A and B are shown apart, each in its own frame.
Chain A
Amino acid sequence: MKFSNFIYKFFFEGNFFPILTIVTVIGIFWYLIALPMNAEKVERKFKDLNTTEKIIKSWNLEKPKLPTPHQIVKEIVNTVFYKKITSKRSLVYHGWITLEATLAGFFLGTALGILLALGIVHNKAMDLSVMPWVIASQTVPILAIAPMIIVVMNSVGITGLLPKAIISMYLSFFPVVVGMVKGLRSPDQMQIDQMKTWSASSNQLLWKLRFPSSVPYLFASLKVGIAASLVGAIVGELPSGAIAGLGARMLAGTYYGQTIMIWSALFTAAFLAASLVITINIVQNFTLKKMAIIT
C-alpha cells in the first residue's frame, strides 16, 4: 500500500475524525464546567479582578475543585521528566511500583489459570466440581477481599510487592480460567475425530489441536485480566497507608486536598492500562498472524 493511500485511509475512512471531534467536545466541555465548579474559590480569593482575569484564574488555581487538562498535563510532565526517577515525587517511581505488582500478579494469575483450565478440561470430576464456583466467582465483588489480604500478610511480615501481586493474581485468574476452558473446548467433534483417526495421544491432542485453538480465547481473557490486575494493584495500595504507588498517590491526594495530584495519578493509571492492553493487542496480532489464524 502506498504511503499517501495509507494517510488518506487513516484520516478519512477510519474513525480518526469522529474520535477527534468527540475528544475536542469533551475538552471544551471540561474547560466550561471548570468555571462554575471553581467559581466559589475564585470569588473568595480574587474578589477585585475583572471577568476575563477571573476566568483565567479559575483555570489555573493551585487546589481547584476541577483541575483543567493543561494543569494535569503540566503536573504529569513535571513529575515524570523533571524529577529523579528514584524520588518519591516522581510519578515514574510510583507508576513502576504499581506496574511491578500488576505484572507479577498478572503472570502468576495467568499461569495458574491456564493450569486449572487444563485440569478442568482433562478431568471431568474437576470440571463438575470447580467450574460452577469459578463462574459464580465472576459475579462476586472479590476486590472486597483486597484490604484483608494486605493487612493479614503485613501482620505475618510479608510486605511490599507480594500482597499486591496476590490481589492482582486472583483478579486475573478467574477470567483466564473461564476463557481458557472455553478455548480448549472450542475444537469441534469433527476435528477431534480427525486427530483420533491419526491415532494422536491425548498429549498430542492437547498440544496440536486444543492449545492452538484456545489462543484467541486466551488473548481475549488476558486483556480483561490485565485491566483487572491493575485495578487490583491500585486498590491493594490503599490500606497500607499510602506509602508508594499510584493508589497511594490518589489516597494522599485525598488527604491533603491535592486534586491535581489525584488527577495526574489517575491519568497515569489510565495510560498504564491503555499501554498494557495495547501491548497485549500487538502480541496477539503478531501471534495470531504467525499461527495463520488471522491474515
Chain B
Amino acid sequence: MNIYIFSFFGIWFIGWFLNSILSKKNNSNFIRFFVPTIFGIVFLLMWEFLVLGLSINPVLLPAPTAIGSKFIVEIPTLWIDFTQTLIKGALSGYILGCGAAFLTAVFINKFDFLKRGLLPLGNFVSALPIVGMAPIFVMWFGFDWESKCAVVVMMVFFPMLVNTVQGLSIIDKSRQDLMTTYGASYFQTLLKLRLPSALPFIFNGLKICSTLALIGAIVAEFFGSPIKGMGFRISSEVGRFALDMVWAEIFVAALAGCLFYGFIALMEKQFTFWHPSQQK
C-alpha cells in the first residue's frame, strides 16, 4: 500500500471523526460553517490522494492541484470566456427575459381570461426541454452571443412569468379593501400593495432563473459559437482531452452560479425583510 492510498484513508477517517465530534456540539454558526468546510477540504484532499495513489491518468481525472494551477495560469482565457458567455449571453438574456416576463405578468394579471389561459401553458412550458431551441436560435441569430441571449430569454421567461403571476394573485382581501377605502388608483395599489406582497414569489422566480440562465448560455454554445465562450471551451477542450481546462471552466461556472444566486438572495433579504421566511 503506497503512501498516498494510506493518506487517502487517513484523511477520510480524520475528517469523519472531526465532523462527528463537531456535529454533536451545540448548533452555533461556527459549527454550521466549519463542518461543511471540513467536508469540502477532506473531499478535495481525498480526490488528490486518490489520483496520486492510483496514478490515474490526468486525461480521465485531473487532481485538484492540477486544476487549480491551470485555473491560475489560464485566468486571461477564462475571463474572456466568462464575459462572452455569462455577461454577454446569460446576463443580457436573464435581464431581458425576466424583465419581459415581469411586465407580461403585471399586464395579464389585470385580465382573468388571459391569466387562466397563460398560467397552465406557462407551467407546461416550464417543464419542457427549452434548451433544445438552441440550434434554432443559433441558425436565426448567428453564432455570437445574441443567439445565446435568445435561448436564455426563452428559458427564463415562463418560470418567471408563472412565479410573478402567482405572487400577484395571492393577495389579502382586507388589505385590498383598505387600499380601496383610501381611494387608491390601480397603479397606486399595484405599486404599494400588489408588487411588494408579490416580492417573495418574484425573488423565487429570479433564483430559479439564475441557474437556468447559466445552463442555457453554456449549452447553447455546444450548438455553435465563435472561438470563445465557456460552452465552446468545454466542448473543444474535452475533444483534446485537456480535462484540467474543462474543470477550470466548470469551477468558474460553479463560482459564478453561487455568486449570482447569493447576490439575488442578498437582494431578497434587503427587500423582503418583513416576510416570515426571512425572520429567525
Contacts and interface: CB of A to CB of B under 8 A. Distances in A.
Interface of A: 15, 17-23, 65, 124-125, 127-133, 136, 138-141, 143-145, 147-148, 151-152, 155-156, 223, 227, 230-231, 234-235, 238-239, 246-247, 250-251, 253-254, 257, 259, 262-263, 265-266, 269-270, 273-274, 277
Contacts of B257: 139-141
A20 B24 CA distance: 58
A254 B135 contact: yes
A19 B132 CA distance: 24
Most chain-B Cβ atoms within 10 A of its Cβ — which of A127, A128, A246?
A: A128
Interface stretch (B4-12, B64-72, B136-144): B136-144
Contacts of B234: 144, 147-148
B129 A140 contact: no
A266 B114 contact: no
Contact of A151 (B24, B113, B231, B238): B238
Contact of B210 (A18, A139, A155): A139
A266 B223 contact: no
A22 B222 CA distance: 33
B238 A250 contact: no
B253 A234 contact: no
Contacts of B113: 18, 21
B243 A15 contact: no
B123 to A, nearest CB: 10
Nearest to B123: A277
A263 B114 CA distance: 27
Contacts of A129: 19, 23, 35-36, 38-39
A283 to B, nearest CB: 16
12 contacts: A15-B116, A21-B117, A125-B24, A128-B31, A128-B36, A139-B257, A143-B215, A251-B135, A251-B223, A257-B139, A273-B127, A274-B128
Given A130-B39, A139-B211, A266 B132 contact: yes
Contacts of B139: 65, 254, 257, 259
Contacts of A144: 215, 218-219, 230-231, 234, 249-250, 253
B223 A125 contact: no
- The main secondary structure of chain A at its interface with chain B is helix
A143 B218 contact: yes
Interface of B: 16, 19-20, 22-24, 31-32, 35-36, 38-40, 59-61, 113-121, 124, 127-129, 131-133, 135-136, 138-140, 210-211, 214-215, 218-219, 222-224, 230-231, 234-235, 238-239, 241, 243, 246-247, 249-250, 253-254, 257-258, 260-262
A188 B260 CA distance: 34
Contacts of B40: 133
B120 to A, nearest CB: 5
Given A139-B258, A144-B249, A273-B127, A266 B133 contact: yes
A211 B24 CA distance: 25
B117 A22 contact: yes
B143 to A, nearest CB: 11
B260 to A, nearest CB: 7
A237 B89 CA distance: 23
Contact of A152 (B117, B129, B243): B243
Contact of A269 (B128, B258, B260): B128
Given A18-B117, A148-B247, A269-B128, 14 more contacts: A15-B119, A19-B116, A125-B19, A139-B260, A140-B254, A143-B219, A144-B230, A152-B61, A155-B241, A227-B128, A235-B219, A250-B132, A251-B223, A262-B136
Nearest to A136: B258
B22 to A, nearest CB: 8
A206 B133 CA distance: 44
A82 B224 CA distance: 32
Given A144-B249, A274-B127, A128 B23 contact: yes
Contact of B238 (A65, A140, A147, A231): A147
A234 B230 CA distance: 19
Contact of B20 (A125, A145, A246): A125
Given A128-B19, A148-B243, A155-B60, A270 B238 contact: no
